[in-house]
Chain A
Amino acid sequence: EDQVTQSPEALRLQEGESSSLNCSYTVSGLRGLFWYRQDPGKGPEFLFTLYSAGEEKEKERLKATLTKKESFLHITAPKPEDSATYLCAVQTSQGGSEKLVFGKGTKLTVNP
């Protein structure tokens, strides 16, 4: 069964304190790995898609990386506005290409 596990469940950082969020996955056929950001009471906002091991993508203070078993979302010098829940999802080739399997998310709080 396809599975996505995110850790930690919650993370508190001071402004400027860099860290990483982890997403480990077990899937039968990875088509892509997605990172989303979700603010309270809102829908997930798309951040990145990664397709193959070794791939990296960056956007402002965020950098996503991918290996054969996990992905990391690195946050460099975070600001309070980076506080949100970060969701990881994998797109699998089994059961239809439209299917995304989500993790429970990591709730990030950045204190000023």
Chain B
Amino acid sequence: ETGVTQTPRHLVMGMTNKKSLKCEQHLGHNAMYWYKQSAKKPLELMFVYNFKEQTENNSVPSRFSPECPNSSHLFLHLHTLQPEDSALYLCASSQVEGHGEETQYFGPGTRLLVL
């Protein structure tokens, strides 16, 4: 266990559904991230929250909507997704102090299938 939990672990949804992914970190970190992992492609950074404020949005379509109510919780709200959005969605957290090591620790991921 890395101290980062994600729910659900598996999700199947239709293109018209609305669902949310949840991430919780128990490491006392101040930054949280969402990544997308598709087959044969590197991990793609989607969103970064630093001290609860979004600091990066890597040109992610608006059908993905992040929410960070506090430094321990992160959500990814999904609506009207496309089949190509099927992937493993990973949450990570780190302690950002502006210098030195900022190791990111990952959760187990949510395997999403869009039909």
Contacts and interface: CB of A to CB of B under 8 A. Distances in A.
A67 interface: no
Contacts, number: 67
A41 interface: yes
B90 A43 contact: yes
Please classify how large the interface on chain B is, using the bins under 10, 10 to 19, 20 to 34, 35 or more: 20 to 34
A25 interface: no
A32 to B, nearest CB: 6
B98 A97 contact: yes
Nearest to A48: B103
Contacts of A41: 88, 109, 111
A42 B102 contact: no
B106 A44 contact: yes
Interface stretch (B13-21, B37-45, B59-67, B68-76): B37-45
A105 to B, nearest CB: 8
B45 A99 contact: yes
A96 B56 contact: yes
B42 A4 contact: yes
Nearest to B41: A104
B97 to A, nearest CB: 9
Contacts of A91: 102
Contacts of B50: 98
A100 interface: yes
